[in-house]
Structure 1
Amino acid sequence: KRKHQEFIDPTINEALRRAGFRWPNIDALAVTVGPGLAPALEVGIAKIRELAKEYKKPVIAVNHMEGHLLSSFACNSRGQGAFSKIRWQFPILGLLVSGGHTQLVLMNGFSQYQLLGETLDDAAGECFDKVAKMLGLGYPGGPIISELAKTGKPIFDLPIAMANSGDLNFSFSGLKTACLYKLQKLGVVVDKPAFAPRASTGKQFYCDFAVSFEKVLVESLMIKLKKAIEQYQ
Structure 2
Amino acid sequence: MIILAVESSCDETSVAILKDGKEVLSHVVLSQIDIHKLYGGVVPEIASRNHVAHVTKVFNEAITNANIDIKDIDLVAVTKGPGLIGSLLVGINAATAFAFAHNKPIIGVNHLIGHIYASSIENEMKFPLLALLVSGGHTELIYMKDHFDFKIIGSTLDDAVGEAYDKVARTLGLSYPGGPVVDRLAKEGKDTYDLPRVTLEKDSYDFSFSGLKSAVINKVHNLNQKGEEVNINDMCASFQNSVIDVLISKTKLAAENFKVKQIILAGGVAANKSLRERIFNEVEGYEIVIPSFKYCTDNAAMIAAAAFEQIKHEEPTHNYLVKGFSTKDEY
Q: For the superposition of Structure 1 and Structure 2, which TM-score range results when normalised by the shorter chain?
A: 0.7 to 0.9
Deviates more, 1:88-97 or 1:101-110: 88-97
Contact 1:119 1:169 in 2 (8 A): yes
What SS does the corresponding residue of 1:142 show, helix, strand or coil? helix
Match of 1:217 in 2: 243
Calculate the aligned-residue CA RMSD, in Å.
2.0
State the partner residue of 2:254.
228
One-letter amino acid matched to 2:53: E
Higher strand share: 2
Distance 1:16 1:165, change over 3 A: farther
Given candidates 75, 80, 99, the residue that maps to 2:136 is 99
Bigger CA radius of gyration: 1
CA drift at 1:98 = 1.6
**When the two structures are aligned, how many residues end up with a matched partner?**
212
Shift of 1:7: 3.0
Please, which of 177, 190, 195 is the counterpart of residue 140 of structure 1?
177
Describe the superposition over 1:163-217 as per-residue Cα deviations: whole angstroms up to 9, x where unpaired.
Answer: 544210111111111111011111179xxxxxxxxx9748xx2111111111111
* TM-score relative to the length of structure 1: 0.85
23, 40, 58: which one aligns with 2:70: 23
- The residue correspondences of 1:69-218 to structure 2 (distance < 5 A) are 69-74=116-121, 81-83=122-124, 89-162=126-199, 164-187=201-224, 201=229, 205-218=231-244
TM-score (norm 2): 0.60
Structure with the larger RCO, 1 or 2 (CA within 8 Å, 6+ apart): 2
Q: Please name the residue that 2:317 is paired with.
A: none
DSSP 3-state at the match of 2:224:
coil
- Percent identical: 42
Matches within 5 A, 1:52-71: 52-71=99-118
Q: 1:19 to 1:177 in 2, by over 3 A?
A: same
Distance change in 2, residues 1:48/1:188 (3 Å)? farther
| Paired position in structure 1 for 2:95 | 48
Identify unmatched segments of 5+ residues in structure 1.
75-80, 190-198
Q: Does 1:39 align with 2:65?
A: no
